[in-house]
Amino acid sequence: MTRLETVHDVVGPWSLATTKRFWEGFAPGRLASQTQTEGIHTAFLCDTDWQRVDAVITQDGPSVRIVVEGPGELDAATEQVRRLLSIDIDGRGWPDVAERDDVIADAQARLPGFRPCGFYSPYEAAVWSLLSQRTNMRQAAAMKTRLTQQLGDDGAFPSPATLLGAQLSLPGRKAEYLRAVAEAALDGRLSGSYLRSLQPTDAFTQVQSILGMGPFSAELVVIRGANFADVLPRNEGRLSDEVTKRYGSDRSIDEIAEAWKPFRSWATVHLRALQGIAE
């Protein structure tokens, strides 16, 4: 077992405490409650070699300390941590969005230092999108928990190779679709670093080439799994409802989102987070 400890400057506002609170309530993959623990302690699969990684993330002012342990590519695992927390992105312009949009100003005030997080990798986002198709969130979360308990690595979600080799008992065509996602992940098509290297439209096309992945799923994988900062979802009904509720119906989402650039993804995630707070 190898250990790597690194310290990185986070450019722009970020709060580990706010991140932790959000993640602990994130239904697709709740972080285990860690109220008595400093920082975030978690385990995941590195999406370059599919080895288990144990990670501890702590904040010291504008810096983040990341400690990763495991048998695999720890430099890649460290970059995955930065990507999944959106702290690899220069966020200095994010407060400017609040100056242009009162709704986002309210969101930033209620979620100070929040950046999109939750999915460890595009692979896990793709799995969630399939499990939750035509299924309510509670049932989808139960299926994911069961897969993790039965096939995972002590709390980390099962690797693509493990999913491919398992006899999956799931409703409809979910097992077939999960095998297609696993094959794509093993081919490198769902690596966070790979998808981030593409233009968003090309990343959408890449993900939609996988059996079972439609436009909504592709947006989830690219925007939330790979954590692109400036992509506007086009297929999320609940977001459209939230935009209408907060901004009225006299302007299109494209007009409203002009004020959000270059953080359109962040703005939409904040709106959904506000919706969750209200619920």
174 domain-assigned = no
Domain assignment present for residue 185? The answer is: no
3-class DSSP assignment, residue 195: helix
Domain count, the chain: 1
pLDDT tens digits, 22-71: 999 888 888 877 766 789 999 999 999 999 999 999 999 999 999 999 99
* Dihedrals phi, psi of 275, to nearest 5 degrees: -60, -40
Residue 161 lies in a domain: no
Residue 33 lies in a domain: yes
Q: Answer yes or no: is 134 within a domain.
A: no
**Residue 222 domain-assigned?**
no
Q: Which domain holds residue 74?
A: 2-93
What pLDDT, on the 0 to 100 scale, is given for residue 278? Answer: 54
CB-facing half-sphere around the CA of 71: CA atoms within 13 A: 4
What is the pLDDT averaged over residues 81-101? 98
pLDDT at 42: 95
pLDDT band of residue 255 (cuts 50, 70, 90) is very high
Whether the Cβ atoms of residue 12 and residue 92 lie closer than 8 Å to each other: yes
Residue 62, preceding peptide bond in cis (omega within 30° of 0): no
What confidence score (pLDDT) does residue 35 get?
A: 65
Kindly give, in sequence order, each residue whose CB lies less than 8 Å from that of residue 187, ignoring residues fewer than 6 positions away: none
Whether 19 shows a pLDDT value over 60: the answer reads: yes
Note the pLDDT of residue 29: 84
Number of H-type helices and E-type strands within the chain: 14, 4
Of all helices (H) and strands (E), which one includes residue 132? none
pLDDT of residue 277: 65
Q: What sign for the dihedral angle of Cα 161, 223, 62, 37?
A: negative
Does residue 139 lie in a domain region? no
SS3 assignment, position 95: helix
Strand ordering across the sheet containing 52-60:
2-9, 63-70, 52-60, 40-45
| Helix runs in the chain, H state only | 16-24, 74-84, 94-100, 102-110, 122-131, 137-151, 160-165, 174-186, 192-196, 200-208, 215-219, 237-247, 253-257, 264-278
**Tens of pLDDT along 191-227?**
999 999 999 999 999 999 999 999 999 999 999 999 9
CATH code assigned at 62: 3.30.310
**Looking at this protein, which amino acid is placed at residue 126?**
A
Structure tokens at 15: 């709060």
Q: Does any domain span residue 263?
A: no
Are the CB atoms for 171 and 135 separated by under 8 Å?
yes
**pTM of the predicted protein model:** 0.94
At 158 the pLDDT is 97
* Higher per-residue confidence, 233 vs 29: 233
What integer pLDDT is reported at residue 216 of this predicted model? Answer: 95
Average pLDDT over residues 94-107: 98
∠ at Cα 67 (44, 79), nearest 5°? 65
**Percent of the chain at pLDDT exceeding 90:** 86
| pLDDT value for 53 | 98
pLDDT at 125: 98
Tell me the pLDDT tens digit for each residue of 107-155: 999 999 999 999 999 999 999 999 999 889 999 999 999 999 999 988 8
Q: Check residue 275 and give its pLDDT.
A: 74
150-192 pLDDT, tens digit each: 999 888 999 999 999 999 999 999 999 999 999 999 999 999 9
